[in-house]
Structure 1
Amino acid sequence: MYKLLMLSVLALAPLAANANIPSDGSAFSPEKGLDLSGSFEAQRDAIITALADGKTYAEISVQDRQKVTGSLNRISGLLGDAQSVDQLPQATKVEVFNEQELINTVLTQAREDSRLVCTREKKVGSHRTTNTCKTVAERRRDQEESQNALRRNMRVACVPGVSCS
């Protein structure tokens, strides 16, 4: 039984290995960002899908989302019917490059902020550990809120004319 299972897995392994890997490199990858050496329309659709899924870019702001979609639309208009960026005039290439950099910068920051970080913590007075998972942006907001609360408490505690040391 084990040998039959292993033979079937090994027979299907080459099919599974090539299932999702595009040969032309035109698919969008959040790790690489927008790359105009491949198919722009395929990458554009993948970016819009990733923005809508609520996971990859969960922490992106509404303004940044609008910046990305606006830049994608501008690149689409600048490319027009051209098959590649190399066919464009130099001034248009610069505009496309600037839009590409804007998209990559915003999406890289949003993806980094959306990364989930889990920690194991022991609550005070308990020996049980719990898992706490938050995005990088949530952790940063919590830290800023606690620092602001400490600053507010320090102002209230230091009444004029009374020693605060």
Structure 2
Amino acid sequence: MFRGILLAALMLSAGSAAAADTGTRVDVDNGFQAQRENILKELGDGETYSEIAPADREKVKAALARITTALDQSGGVDQLKEQQKVDVFNDQELVNNILTKAGEDSRLVCKRVKKTGSHMTSNQCMTVAARSRAMEHAQEELRRTPAHQLPKEGF
């Protein structure tokens, strides 16, 4: 029993240490309501987490609602029962993992590229996920193109 309590406390503190490093991740120990409002605002702005899947967006909102309910009913993190602490920690990790992945995929990357046959360069900006989708699409098109339609070497 004591091990379980200690493990839950360590997990909550480990989650809060990770949250301090990254900005919009959830940390129930440090102003959860402000973090919740910020996350919901960023989910709605269409830019910060532009590459988040609709199902993941709903998972994040549901987890935030469950955390809010647990904290409101108990009166704070310190008053949570052990099972509630574990549940809150699991929801906190779910939100942190989804938002971290979505934040990485939504990051905008710009490159200077030259158009074929031109010396002029232009900026090409795409999210990491959009760039990955474009690469996968190009590879799939090459796989589907019959060999007799591919350009010969040396041309």
Short-chain TM bin: 0.7 to 0.9
Q: TM-score, normalised by structure 2?
A: 0.77
Following superposition of structure 1 onto structure 2, how do residues 58-137 of structure 1 map, counting pairs within 5 Å?
58-137=50-129
Tell me the residue number matched to 1:41. 33
| Structure 2 SS opposite 1:130 | strand
| Structure 1 SS opposite 2:50 | coil
Cα distance in 1 for residues equivalent to 2:126 and 2:96 = 24
Q: 2:112 is matched by which residue type in structure 1?
A: R
Q: Which of 126, 133, 147 is the equivalent residue of 1:157?
A: 147
| Structure 2 SS opposite 1:131 | strand
- Greater helix share, structure number: 2
Distance apart, 1:76 and its partner CA:
1.3
Q: For residues 32 and 46 of structure 1, do their structure 2 counterparts lie closer, same or farther at Cα, with a shift above 3 Å needed?
A: closer
| Structure 1 SS opposite 2:125 | strand
Residue-by-residue CA offset, 1:19-71 (whole Å, 9 max, x unaligned): xxxxxxxxx99635111111222211111111111111111111111000010
Cα distance in 1 for residues equivalent to 2:123 and 2:117 = 16
Which of these two proteins has the greater Rg computed from alpha carbons? 1
Q: 1:132 is matched by which residue type in structure 2?
A: Q
Provide the identity percentage: 50
| Structure 2 SS opposite 1:80 | helix
Instruction: Please tell me the root mean square deviation across aligned C-alpha atoms, in Å.
Output: 1.8
Are the equivalent residues in 1 in contact too, given 2:51–2:105 (CA < 8 A)?
Answer: yes
Q: TM-score, normalised by structure 1?
A: 0.73
Are the equivalent residues in 1 in contact too, given 2:24–2:35 (CA < 8 A)?
Answer: no
Distance apart, 1:81 and its partner CA:
3.7
| Counterpart check, 1:53 vs 2:45 | yes
Q: How many residues align?
A: 129
Q: 2:147 is matched by which residue type in structure 1?
A: A
